[in-house]
A and B are shown apart, each in its own frame.
Chain A
């Protein structure tokens, strides 16, 4: 019985390997037309120097909206599952972050390393996240990347200290998330009133499109992604962390 299941597993893996081996080993040349078009026109079409930003906030901004919606749905599902779990927990005190000093050493999430490092690192990581987010149109980075760095900064702050900051309160974070989604919707329809269509760039200058619209979308998406992933991480590490 045991040997049979092992041979079945090996057979399955072999079949999958044979199926995707041609995909991995194909030597078809990669098409260069799209790259050449973007090299020539991305700046004029969207106003962003970073062509990746130009694609996901200019040419395919609708897809970014869908991606944000997927993130929202996933966060909603995760939070509803985890919050229903917490309601049945007897010792909810044991999973809070800001514990009384005499309880600290027994708590599994609090080690000496976290005590020393996390609270000092938190603000610096937050600053770096805002940098990556705000300069996404001219340098590597953008809303999603900056948002994830923001989330790690907030998680550092939540793990770190007894410092009472509103940034690690899940209620405040959820409000920021909902507000930034509202602003994303408003920004997406703002182009309609300036004759450039849904998700069109409303800021027009004479020759080049201004990158301001890309910067605005980067900020909104960064706040949205950062707060939602931070809320999820805080919920997964245990509890709502409200003061």
Chain B
């Protein structure tokens, strides 16, 4: 159990470091996606600690996992898709306006315009 959590922690840190360190805004957006995926995985992992069967009430199901984290993460996944779509569209718009995806170049060119 501990090794999965450390892997999820590393995934989260990779996403965060992509946001902080990368200059390309597309890579920043994918870092955001990685952080989202890490949180989703952490919740599903935690919810599955108290059971071993899928949360569907059927014959022979006596030891099911907690369905609440799964329902919450359904929401989180949809919101993640929304966030990445909107930010990708904004990235396209920035590229159209400045001709670059590098955040430093974008800042410089936008500052030059004003």
Contacts and interface: CB of A to CB of B under 8 A. Distances in A.
A and B interact physically: yes
Instruction: Pick the most buried of B16, B56, B65: most chain A CB atoms within 10 A of its CB.
Output: B56
A113 to B, nearest CB: 24
A24 B89 contact: no
Interface in A81-95: 81-82, 85, 88
A144 interface: yes
A172 interface: no
A85 B67 contact: no
Contact of B78 (A24, A25, A60, A144): A144
A52 B70 contact: yes
Given A13-B20, A71-B78, A51 B89 contact: no
B67 A55 contact: yes
Contacts of A13: 13, 16-17, 20
Contacts of A140: 54, 56
Contacts, number: 117
Interface residues of A, number: 48
A30 B69 CA distance: 11
Q: What's the dominant secondary structure at chain B's contact region?
A: helix
A214 to B, nearest CB: 13
B109 interface: no
A67 interface: yes
Given A17-B13, A35-B51, A67 B20 contact: no
A39 interface: yes
Contacts of B111: none
B107 interface: no
Given A24-B5, A24-B9, A39-B64, A52 B79 contact: no
A238 to B, nearest CB: 11
Contact of A30 (B2, B6, B66): B66
A77 B89 contact: yes
Interface of B: 2, 5-6, 8-9, 12-13, 16-17, 20-21, 42, 46-47, 49-51, 54-58, 64-68, 70-71, 74-75, 77-79, 81-83, 85-86, 88-90, 92-93, 96
Given A52-B55, A70-B82, 17 more contacts: A13-B13, A13-B16, A24-B8, A30-B49, A32-B66, A35-B65, A38-B68, A51-B64, A52-B74, A77-B86, A78-B85, A78-B89, A81-B92, A81-B93, A82-B92, A85-B93, A229-B81
Interface of A: 9, 12-13, 16-17, 20-21, 24-25, 30, 32, 34-35, 38-39, 42-43, 49-52, 54-56, 60, 63-64, 67, 70-71, 73-75, 77-78, 81-82, 85, 88, 138-140, 142, 144, 225, 229, 232, 236
